């Protein structure tokens, strides 16, 4: 294989990896998952006839957001960095 082609393929792969890493830590992703969690919990609580379903649906959504704050600290501890 041509060396320039290999280098080009490696650069393209690195670009894709960087985009994936950026997505994993983006606020867009976090907020989308939070909203989806809230909607899913709200629909479920409405379906089963729970009292205050839209208020109670906030619990898993808020817990998810808080969990994303702790993950960088846990990762540093786990990796030893």
Percent of the chain with pLDDT over 90: 78
- Kindly give the parts of the chain with pLDDT less than 50: none
Tokens in use for 65? 């957001």
Q: Are 42 and 59 in contact (CB under 8 A)?
A: no
Structure confidence at residue 79 (pLDDT): 87
Domain ranges of the chain: 3-79
52 φψ region: left (φ > 0), alpha (ψ -120 to 50), beta (else): left
- Interval 10-27: pLDDT, tens: 999 999 999 999 998 899
How distant, in Å, are the alpha carbons of 7, 12, 39, 55 from that of 30? Answer: 34, 26, 14, 20
Distance of alpha carbon 35 from the chain centroid: 12
Structure confidence at residue 73 (pLDDT): 83
The Cα–Cα gap between 43 and 65 comes to 20
């Amino acid at each position: 294989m041509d060396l320039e082609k290999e280098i080009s393929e490696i650069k393209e792969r690195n670009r894709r990896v960087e985009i994936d890493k950026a997505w994993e830590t983006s606020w867009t992703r976090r907020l989308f998952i939070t909203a989806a969690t809230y909607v899913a919990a709200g629909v479920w609580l409405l379906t089963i006839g729970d009292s205050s379903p839209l208020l109670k649906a906030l619990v898993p959504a808020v817990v998810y957001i808080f969990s994303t704050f702790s993950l960088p600290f846990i990762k540093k501890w786990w990796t030893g960095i």
